Amino acid sequence: MRVIAGRLGGRRLRAPRGDTTRPTSDRVREALFSMLGALDGAAVLDLFAGTGALGIEALSRGARRAVFVERHAAAIRVLRANLERLGLAGEEAELRVGDALAALRAAREAGETYDLVFLDPPYRQAPELGAELSALLPALLAPGARVVVESDRRAPAELQMEVVQSRRYGDTTITIHRHATEGTDEH
């Protein structure tokens, strides 16, 4: 696994052993970031971050800041090592250890907003998380923000947000949602 493009392009990323963490493949990440386009100056939230591959790719491609949320110890060790090896730290890359839903609630209370959110929940939990994520996310989204959901095509995490694009890669589905705000004509 490697960073696909940008200032860190070609650099290798580590992944934890076993099947607890399921990193997004290079092929899927390349297709996803092609769909997303320019990320210059974006604030990114990478929930269920795992190895951090999605948030790291966003930083490599010009995002200003990425917050990574992960709760599994093995993934946290690997994510921390990936950030250190790539020289990503401080304001640019922040690792928050804990539950994704609790992290969303804390971010909402702190008044944080994001331009891009990556959601790659454990596939078996994805369907049941859709409603709660749909309720928590809007308060954290900047106008026109996008939310990228990676899930199993047979059991997707469905959000109550406008779908801009959806693509299938084998058993994996990538769905990009856009946050429409009142008073805009983003429909």
The pLDDT, as a whole number, for residue 185 is 45
- CA gap 91, 56 in Å, rounded: 14
Q: What is the pLDDT of residues 51-109, one digit of tens each?
A: 999 999 999 999 999 999 999 999 999 999 999 999 998 889 999 999 999 999 999 99
User: Is 23 within 8 Å of 50 (Cβ atoms)?
Assistant: yes
CATH of the domain at 121: 3.40.50.150
The pLDDT, as a whole number, for residue 29 is 87
- Is residue 18 included in any domain, yes or no? no
Q: What is the pLDDT of residues 136-172, one digit of tens each?
A: 999 999 999 999 999 888 888 889 999 999 999 888 8
- Is residue 12 included in any domain, yes or no? no
Residue 28 scores a pLDDT above 70: yes
- Is residue 14 included in any domain, yes or no? no
Residues spanned by the domain of 48: 26-178
- Is residue 20 included in any domain, yes or no? no
User: Is 69 within 8 Å of 100 (Cβ atoms)?
Assistant: yes
In which band, very low, low, confident or very high, does the pLDDT at 16 lie, cut at 50, 70 and 90? confident
- Is residue 160 included in any domain, yes or no? yes
Domain count, the chain: 1
User: What pTM does this model have?
Assistant: 0.92
Residue 184 scores a pLDDT above 50: no
For the chain, how are helix, strand and coil distributed in percent, rounded to 5?
Answer: 30, 30, 40
- Is residue 77 included in any domain, yes or no? yes
The pLDDT, as a whole number, for residue 107 is 97
Q: Residues near 129 by Cβ (< 8 Å), separated by ≥ 6? A: 101, 121, 157
The pLDDT, as a whole number, for residue 22 is 63
In which band, very low, low, confident or very high, does the pLDDT at 19 lie, cut at 50, 70 and 90? low
- Is residue 184 included in any domain, yes or no? no
- 176: its two tokens: 């990009």
